Structure 1
Amino acid sequence: MAARSRLKHDAAAPPDVAVPAEKPTTATPYLTQLRIFPARHGKLPVLGRSLRITGGRRGLFRWVGSGETGGMSGMGSRGRWALVSVGVMVVVLGAVPSGGPAVADGGGRLVDVSDPVFYVPLGPATGQTPQDAAVRFRYTGDGSGGGRAGKVRFDVRGLAGVAEVTGVPDGCTGEKTPVVTCGQTISEGPEPYRADTVQQLGLAAVAGAKAGETGVLRYTLISDDGSLKGSGSLDVVAGSPRLLVSDTGPRTAERGEDLSIPLFVRNAGDVTARGLYLSLDPTEAMAIVGRAANCWYGKAQMYCVLPDIRIAPGQTVRIDPPLRVTPRPEAVDPLVSYAVGLGTEYVNRDPLPDYTRGKGAPLRATPAAAPDDVDFLDPSRAQFDVTVANTSDYAAIGADITGRVGSRVNVVVGYVNKGPGVPRDAAVKAVFTVPPGAKVVAPPYDPELDEEMLPQHCKTSDRDRTYVCELSDGLRKPQEFAFALRITGDDDRPGSVTVRRSGKAPEDPVSANDRAPVRLTVTGPAPATAATARSDTSPVVWAAAVGGTAVLLTAGLVLLRRRREAARTKDTP
C-alpha cells in the first residue's frame, strides 16, 4: 500500500500556511482550487471556493466544485471549530509529500496529494450518503500563473466488482468506457498564489459488492503540450466506516476545578476505520488542561490525530487519558464542543497556523466497553453545557436630566456587569421608570432589528411610563439604552433604573447598586417665544376686540334710533 505512505510525513515542522478569501483563478467546471498563503496575525485559515461555508458564525460547510458537486459535508453550531477543522486539515497540506511519477518543468512538477482511500457506501440502508471521489495535484514550481490546458484521465478498470462510475462533470467524456477523460486547467501559479488542481468523479458501489472489497482507481494529469505530467492511484473500498461519539451531558464545576471528559468512539459502519482524529473546542471561559504530544493547541482549541488506530465495525474504543478542561475566573455557563472523525485518510496531520504541538504523554485509543448509560451521537460531534458556581455584580446606570419645561433632552440608562462572572447568554433586564415630570418621545430604536423582523430591545406596557430593556449579557462592558424625553412640567421627582436578572444569570452578591436614580432638574418654564405668544394670546385678543366692537356698534345704533324718534316727535303738530 505504497500510496498510503504519501501522507505519513513529519508533522512537527510543516510550512506555515493559511488560505485567504480572495477569489481563485478561473477554472474549468468542477475544478476546485485553493490558494495557499503565509499565515498572518494569528488567524485561522479561511477556505475559498473549495470549502463553501454557509450559515454565518455557526458553521455549515461542504466540499464543492464550481459545478456544486459532491464531497465531504458537515455542519456545526457551537462546535464550529471542531467541524471546520476537518475541512481545513484536508487541504492545508504542509511539506509536499512524495506522490506518483511526476515530470519536471523548469523546476516545477505535478505531485499527487490526493487522499489515498475513498469509501463507497453499500446502499441507503447503511445511512451513508455517496460522495464524489476527488483527485488533487499540486504544482511545486514557480509558474507564470493562470495555468495551462490539460486533461485528467481516470482508468477505472481496477474498480471491477467494487465500484462503478455514476456521473461525470461537464467537460468529461467516456462515462461508460474504461477511461474517463476530463478537460482541466492546470494551476501552476507561483507562491503565494499556489493552488491545487482538483478533479471529481462520481463513484458508487456496484450491486453485489461486499464490505471491505477494494479496487484501485488510477489517474493521470497531463498538460496538452506534454511538459507537465503527474499520476497516482487511490484505493476504493466498498462500504464505509461511521464513527459515533459518546454524549457527555451537562456538567457542573467549581471555579478552578478540573473537569474530566470521558470519551468513547464507536464504529457503526461496515468496514474498519483506519486512523482517528478528535477536536475539542470550549468557549474561551474554559481552558484546556494538558498538552499531549499527538495534539496541537491554539488559543482555546485543540485537535489530535491518532493515525495508527484501527476500529473494527461494531467496536468501541476509549480515549485515554480523558480530556480535561478547567473554568477560567469569568466562567459561568461555558459550552464545550468536541468531534471525532477518520484519521489520515481524510485529515492530514500538518498543524494549523498558530497551533503548537504538545510535548506530554500522547493520547491513546483503547478498546473498551462503554458504560450502559452512555449514549452515542450521530453525526460524530457533540457539545455540553457546564454550570460553574460563580457570581456577577450587576450595577444600574442612572442619569441626570436638566432643562426647561417643553425642552427635549437625551438620556442614556442601562447597566454594567462588574464581574467576576461573565455569562455566555444569560438575559439581564434594565427597568427604566420615567420621571413624572417628563415623557418619552423616542425610545431606543435599532433599524437592523426591524430588517430582521426582531423585536426592539426596549418595550413598554403602561403608556410609556416604564420601559423594560433586555440584552443577552455576554460582555463585561456597559449595556446602554438611549431615550429622548420631553420635560412636561415642574415636577422634579426622580425616575429610576433597576437591574433584574433572569435565565442563567448568576447570583449578584451586591444588591446596593442594583438601582440608580434618574434625576430631573427643571430650570424654568417654557420660553415665551413670538410663535408661542401668537398661538397663546391672539384668540383672546381677537375675541375681546370683536366683543368690544360689537358693544360699541350696538350702543351707536341705539343712540341713532333714539335721536330719529325724538326728531319725528318734535316735528309732529
Structure 2
Amino acid sequence: MKKSLSLLAAAGLTAVGLTTPAMAADPVYELVGPSELAVHAYPTSGEPRVTSLGLTAGSVWDQPAKPATFKVDLSRLAGVVDVAAPGGLSPLRCTTAGTTMTCHNPVARQLFLDVSAAKGSKAGASGELAVTATTEGGTIKPFTTRIKVGGPDLRIADPKLPGKAKTGDELPLAVRFENTGSIAAKGVDLSIESTLGTVLAEKYDNCAYGAGDLGGYEGVTAATCTLEGDFEPGTAYEVVEPLTLEVTGAALRESVEMSVFEAGKGPKGAAAKRGATGKKLTFKPVGKSAAKAPKAADLDRSDNTFRTRFEVGNTADLAAIGATVQAKAGQTVKVDLGYQSHGPAWFDHQMPGARGSWMEFQVPEGATLTKVPGTCFGFEADGTEHAPGKVSDTRSYRCGSVSVLPGEKELHSFELKVDKVVSGAKGAISVSGHAPDPVQGNNKAELVLNAGVTPPSPTPTPTATSTGTPAPTASASATPAPVTSTGGNDVRPNGNLADTGSSSVLPLAGGAAAVIAAGAALVVAFRRRAAGRA
C-alpha cells in the first residue's frame, strides 16, 4: 500500500511539474601518494629505520570532516617490509587479519602507515602495497605503490660561496655530492637556481636553461644538467668543468640553490632551452667505486638540496612621484602616488634580512580620503597603525611593496574628495628604500590640490525686502577631476603588496602585519602579473 501511494504521489508531482530534481552523482576521489617508496635496508644491529607512507583522498580541509575506512593488502610484501599503524596521537584505528590491515580514520580521508625493512630482507627486494577505501558520500579509487628495500641517497655539499661579494665578482661553484644509500643512482639531475642579481656564466649541451622558482622571487634563472652513469653507494663525486656565478650590477641580497636527484626523479621545472656550445658537463668519482646495483627511489630527499645566501654592497635610487590636481569642492579624484626605482639594485621583501621599501603620504588640507589601496594603512603620530585598505581618521598613510626591479614604478591608487577648495594645498610624500640611496634629493614629492585657484567668495545673504529670484546653487560634478602626475607612464595601479620582512627604517606593527597577512593571499596573483610583465 505504501508503495502504491508513493507511485501515485510521484505521478501527481509530475503532472504539475514539481518532480524532484535528479541528485548529482557522488564525487570520485583518487588516493594521492608516492608511486614508489624506498626504505632503509635492515641494519646489522639495532632497530630498522621507519619510513612514513601517507595517502590522502580529496581535500584535508573538507568540512564537516569525512571519515574513511581503508583496507591494505600486504600479501605481496611478505619478507620484504613490515607495515604498521603509526602510534602516538594518530586518530587511525587499525586491525590486522591475515594479510589484510583495516584502518578507520574518523576525521579525514587520510591514511598513514609506518614502513620498515623486514628482518632477513635483501637490498633491492621489492613488493607491491595495494589499498582500497570507502567513505561517506563518495567513491575512492584503488591505489598501489611499489616499495623497495634500499635505494640511493644523494646528498649535495655546501658550494662554499662567500657571505659577501661585490658587483662584477665571479664566484666559482664547488659542486660536490655523494650517494650515502645502499643502491646506485642511474643518472643524476643537477639543478642550480639563482636570484636576479646573479647569472651562471657557462653553458653546456647537457644542461637546460630557463626560469626558476627559487623562493618565489622575481627573475630567478635555473640550469638543470643531466649527468649520465651509475652513481655508486659510498662514493662521492664532483663536477669537472667550471661553473661560475657572475654577480651583476643589480645584485643586493642573493640566493643560490643547488640540488641533485636521480635522473627524472626531481621536481619538474619550467620549459627550458638546452645549451648549444659543443661542451658537456661531466663528473668524476672521489674514492673507490662499488659494484653496480639496480635503480630505486631516494631514501632521504631532505638533503638533496642546499641553499646559500650572500650580500652585495649596492645602492638603489628611489625617486618619489607626486601629482597635481585641479578639482571643485565636492568632487572626488583618483591619484597615483609612489616612486620609481632607478636602481641599480633590485629588491624582494621576502629575502631574509631584507629591509622594506616604503612610501609615506600626508592628506592635503581641505580633502579627505574615500578609498585606500590594500597595500596602504593609516598610522598615528604615536605609532598606532590602522587596518590596511581602510579609510581612517588619521591623515598619515604608509604603503609597502613586494618587490622593486630597476626601472619599475611602484604606484598606489588613492581616491580623495575635495571638501573645500584650499588654494595650493599640499600633501607631503616621502620614500625610504631597501638599500642605501645615493640620491637623497628626489626622495620627496607632493600632492598639490588646486594650485593658484582662488576660493569662491561667500554668497551675500539676501535682505528681507529682496524680491529677486535666488541664484542657482552650483552642483559638484561626479566626474573625476584631471590629475597631473609628476611621474612617467609606466603606471601599476593599486601598487604591489606590502613588505613582510623587518624594516630598519619604519616600524611594523598592527596595520603593517595585516598588510602582510593580506599579501600572503595575493602574492600568487602578483607573481603571475610580474611574470607576464617580464
TM-score (norm 1): 0.49
Within 5 Å, which residues of 2 pair with 1:155-554? 161-162=79-80, 207-210=118-121, 212-214=123-125, 237-248=148-159, 251-298=163-210, 300-313=221-234, 315-321=235-241, 323-343=243-263, 346=265, 354-357=272-275, 359-367=278-286, 378-405=302-329, 407-425=331-349, 426-435=355-364, 437-446=365-374, 456=388, 463-475=393-405, 476-483=407-414, 484-488=416-420, 490=422, 492-501=424-433, 505-520=434-449, 521=451, 523-525=453-455
User: Larger Rg: 1 or 2?
Assistant: 1
Q: Helix, strand or coil: the match of 1:378?
A: helix
Q: Is the 8 A contact 2:41 2:150 kept in 1?
A: yes
Judged with a 3 Å threshold, the aligned counterparts in structure 2 of structure 1 residues 383 and 282 are, in CA distance, closer, same or farther, namely same
Partner residue, 2:49: 126
Using the TM superposition, give the Cα deviation of residue 262 of structure 1 relative to its aligned residue in structure 2, in angstroms.
2.0
Whole-angstrom CA distance in 1 between matches of 2:203 and 2:317: 35
Using the TM superposition, give the Cα deviation of residue 499 of structure 1 relative to its aligned residue in structure 2, in angstroms.
1.2
Q: Is the 8 A contact 2:316 2:344 kept in 1?
A: yes
Whole-angstrom CA distance in 2 between matches of 1:351 and 1:404: 55
User: Could you tell me the percent identity over the aligned residues?
Assistant: 21
Using the TM superposition, give the Cα deviation of residue 316 of structure 1 relative to its aligned residue in structure 2, in angstroms.
3.5
Whole-angstrom CA distance in 1 between matches of 2:396 and 2:266: 57
Alignment deviations for residues 474-528 of structure 1 (CA, whole Å, 9 cap, x no partner): 3342211223142435353533211112xxx222211221111322326343687
Whole-angstrom CA distance in 1 between matches of 2:115 and 2:301: 26
Q: Is the 8 A contact 1:459 1:468 kept in 2?
A: no
Q: Is the 8 A contact 1:296 1:351 kept in 2?
A: no
Q: Helix, strand or coil: the match of 1:240?
A: coil
Alignment deviations for residues 127-160 of structure 1 (CA, whole Å, 9 cap, x no partner): 644589xxxxxxxxxxxxxxxxxxxxx9x98x77
Judged with a 3 Å threshold, the aligned counterparts in structure 2 of structure 1 residues 448 and 164 are, in CA distance, closer, same or farther, namely farther
Q: Helix, strand or coil: the match of 1:126?
A: coil
Whole-angstrom CA distance in 2 between matches of 1:235 and 1:498: 61
Whole-angstrom CA distance in 2 between matches of 1:235 and 1:67: 15
Using the TM superposition, give the Cα deviation of residue 395 of structure 1 relative to its aligned residue in structure 2, in angstroms.
0.3
Using the TM superposition, give the Cα deviation of residue 210 of structure 1 relative to its aligned residue in structure 2, in angstroms.
4.2
Q: Is the 8 A contact 2:197 2:247 kept in 1?
A: yes
Q: Is the 8 A contact 1:408 1:487 kept in 2?
A: no
Whole-angstrom CA distance in 2 between matches of 1:448 and 1:487: 22
Judged with a 3 Å threshold, the aligned counterparts in structure 2 of structure 1 residues 471 and 323 are, in CA distance, closer, same or farther, namely same
Q: Say what the alpha-carbon RMSD is for the aligned residues.
A: 4.9
Alignment deviations for residues 149-208 of structure 1 (CA, whole Å, 9 cap, x no partner): xxxxx9x98x774358999xxxxxxx969xxxxxxxxxxxxxxxxxxxxxxxx9966621
Whole-angstrom CA distance in 1 between matches of 2:48 and 2:389: 49
Judged with a 3 Å threshold, the aligned counterparts in structure 2 of structure 1 residues 516 and 380 are, in CA distance, closer, same or farther, namely same
Whole-angstrom CA distance in 1 between matches of 2:376 and 2:362: 26
One-letter code aligned to 1:420: P
Judged with a 3 Å threshold, the aligned counterparts in structure 2 of structure 1 residues 212 and 459 are, in CA distance, closer, same or farther, namely farther
Q: Helix, strand or coil: the match of 1:427?
A: coil
Using the TM superposition, give the Cα deviation of residue 392 of structure 1 relative to its aligned residue in structure 2, in angstroms.
1.7
Using the TM superposition, give the Cα deviation of residue 279 of structure 1 relative to its aligned residue in structure 2, in angstroms.
0.7
Whole-angstrom CA distance in 2 between matches of 1:527 and 1:296: 73
One-letter code aligned to 1:298: G
Q: Is the 8 A contact 2:341 2:404 kept in 1?
A: no
Whole-angstrom CA distance in 1 between matches of 2:126 and 2:426: 82
One-letter code aligned to 2:167: R
One-letter code aligned to 1:477: E
Using the TM superposition, give the Cα deviation of residue 362 of structure 1 relative to its aligned residue in structure 2, in angstroms.
2.0
Alignment deviations for residues 290-345 of structure 1 (CA, whole Å, 9 cap, x no partner): 123432223532112223142324x443333453222333332233222111236x
Unaligned runs of 5+ in 2: 1-27, 56-72, 86-97, 101-112, 129-144, 212-220, 289-299, 350-354, 378-385, 465-534
Q: Helix, strand or coil: the match of 2:312?
A: strand
Q: Helix, strand or coil: the match of 1:393?
A: strand
Whole-angstrom CA distance in 1 between matches of 2:305 and 2:286: 20
Alignment deviations for residues 209-268 of structure 1 (CA, whole Å, 9 cap, x no partner): 345253688xxxxxxxxxxxxxxxx99752233222224577333223222222332434
Whole-angstrom CA distance in 2 between matches of 1:209 and 1:215: 13
Alignment deviations for residues 79-122 of structure 1 (CA, whole Å, 9 cap, x no partner): xxxxxxxxxxxxxxxxxxxxxxxxxxxxxxxxxxxxxxx74444
Partner residue, 2:135: none
Judged with a 3 Å threshold, the aligned counterparts in structure 2 of structure 1 residues 305 and 340 are, in CA distance, closer, same or farther, namely same
Alignment deviations for residues 46-69 of structure 1 (CA, whole Å, 9 cap, x no partner): xxxxxxxxxxxxxxxxxxxx3324
Alignment deviations for residues 348-374 of structure 1 (CA, whole Å, 9 cap, x no partner): 9x99854214532423143279xxxxx
Alignment deviations for residues 374-419 of structure 1 (CA, whole Å, 9 cap, x no partner): xx99342232233233322110001112234554443322111122
Whole-angstrom CA distance in 2 between matches of 1:487 and 1:236: 73
Whole-angstrom CA distance in 1 between matches of 2:391 and 2:403: 18
One-letter code aligned to 1:430: M
TM-score (norm 2): 0.52
Unaligned runs of 5+ in 1: 1-28, 31-65, 73-117, 133-153, 168-174, 178-201, 218-233, 370-375, 542-573
